[in-house]
Amino acid sequence: MDIIKRAIAISKDAKQSSWIAPTLLFIDAIFCALIIWKVPYTEIDWRAYMQQVELYIKGERNYYNIEGQTGPLVYPALHVYIYRVLYAVTSHGKDIFAAQVIFSGVYLASLAVVMGCYRLAKAPPYIFPLLILSKRMHSIFLLRLFNDCFAVLFLWLAVYAYQKKQWTLGSTLYSCGLGVKMSVLLGLPAVGFVLLQGISSERGITQAMLIVQTQGLLGYEFVKVHWRAYIGRAFQLTRQFLYKWTVNWRFIPEEIFLSKPFSYTLLTAHASLLILFATTRWTSPSKRSLIQTLKLFFSQEQNFRVTDPIAARVNPEFVLTTIMTANAIGMLCARSLHYQFFAWTAWASPFLLWRSGFGPVFVVGIWAAQEWAWNVYPSASMSSVVVVLSLAAQVAGVWWGTRVVDEPPVVMANKDAKKDE
């Protein structure tokens, strides 16, 4: 019994992650080696990436003219540059083993950063093993070589930098992730709240400009040739995916899935959830309502005696929770998720489920159900229901778990206002 009690105590002690995280990382490195050795590689998009890069190498800069066997180039410029390097070091894309070794390094680097974010947020060690047990995540990185791998790495690096209050580095890394894949935009609303309360409106606007300017720098050689082609293809907001490949909404009829009313419903749900969290959760460092928070930070004369303590409350836990919640909301309300999109939620799920406060059984149970659903191929009605419900559980769980149980924001704001007087 003493051993069991000791094990339970270790599993809940955040300080123990200092040795648990490196141990799990080492174990996963062995998993990666075994997977590359034993499991056959599956071709999906790698050859198309290489074909697109070949056109780039030949001098093509018009995005309308860059295509591969799976269709046109629909990713921003940094994707092209990364796969241009991979093209060179993998014998024009023919050395798949070399590519897998590189992607295993990207996987382990990403995992190390994720664990670093968890440690800064003081997450309990019992959720760390869930980070290395996903069959689908290993497949995405090691057997499919998707560009999501690099985008996710940049996103988690940005979160880590923001947690360490390295704002400029974080915004640069965030923009690099956006430069690989547009999906990084899902976390942007939360990034705005982190920056606003962490460094005030003036510096926050500077960071926003940095994100935009980095995009301009990355895409310059394409923009100067045909800017409409670059913006339209790399950041195509109206892109529509095929029903047969969707992982999430497979349980509804195809005619509804493809309809505009369904699209508008999801868009409305997305906006509504963002507003809900913005008004009830994401201004918690300011201890004010959303309106009062905006008035405080956009006033001509900011009271730094008030804003400095707010910035101090933008801690690692708040940063990780807020950005990953926004990402989960975006995935929940997305019309179509493909298998590679699991990279965007797999490593965030254990933390968000833990933040619900419902305990290990809930966390592990939802995680296991989600892992099962994303490994059903082709997706079926039941698996797609589980995908949606698991994302809904994360969003609802973190909303419940981060509630303020003592005083509502308005009351707190009134108290602070009286103190300021």
User: What would the two tokens of residue 273 be?
Assistant: 């959830």
Is this prediction's pTM over 0.85? yes
The helix (run of H) or strand (run of E) holding residue 72 is strand 71-72
Place of tokens 């992982």: 247
Confidence bin at 300 (pLDDT 50/70/90) = low
Question: Is the pLDDT reported for residue 8 higher than 50?
Answer: yes
How many alpha carbons fall within 13 Å on the CB side of residue 102? 20
pLDDT of 415 reads 43
Task: Give me the chain's average pLDDT, please.
Answer: 92
Confidence bin at 421 (pLDDT 50/70/90) = very low
- Do 52 and 36 form a contact (C-beta atoms < 8 A)? no
Question: Is the pLDDT reported for residue 417 higher than 50?
Answer: no
State pLDDT tens for residues 384-393: 999 999 999 9
CB atoms within 10 A of CB 339: 21
- Do 277 and 181 form a contact (C-beta atoms < 8 A)? no
Q: What's the Cα-to-Cα distance from 298 to each of 206, 290, 305, rounded to whole Å?
A: 14, 12, 15
pLDDT of 391 reads 98
State pLDDT tens for residues 329-377: 999 999 999 999 999 999 999 999 999 999 999 999 999 999 999 999 9
- Do 127 and 13 form a contact (C-beta atoms < 8 A)? no
Cα angle for residues 67, 69, 70 (degrees, 5° grid): 85
Q: What's the Cα-to-Cα distance from 404 to each of 273, 294, 308, 410, rounded to whole Å?
A: 18, 20, 21, 12
State pLDDT tens for residues 226-261: 999 999 999 977 666 778 889 999 999 999 999 999
pLDDT of 145 reads 97
154-168, 262-276, 299-313, 367-381, range with the lowest pLDDT: 299-313
- Asked if the peptide bond before residue 409 counts as cis, ω within 30 degrees of 0, the response is no
- Do 84 and 57 form a contact (C-beta atoms < 8 A)? yes
Selection from 281, 323, 278, 315 nearest residue 159 by Cα: 323
Per-residue b/e over 227-248, b at no fewer than 16 CB within 10 Å? Answer: eebbbebbbeeeeeeebeebbb
DSSP 4-64: HHHHHHHHH-GGGHHHHHHHHHHHHHHHHHHHHHHSPP--SSHHHHHHHHHHHHTT---GG
- Do 103 and 145 form a contact (C-beta atoms < 8 A)? yes
Sequence ranges of the domains in the chain: 2-420
State pLDDT tens for residues 14-69: 999 999 999 999 999 999 999 999 999 999 999 999 999 999 999 999 999 999 99
For 122, left (φ over 0), alpha (ψ -120 to 50), or beta? left
State pLDDT tens for residues 100-148: 999 999 999 999 999 999 999 999 999 999 999 999 999 999 999 999 9
For CA atoms 230, 208, 317, 356, give the dihedral sign: negative
Cβ-based neighbours of 382, under 8 Å, separated by 6 or more: 251, 376
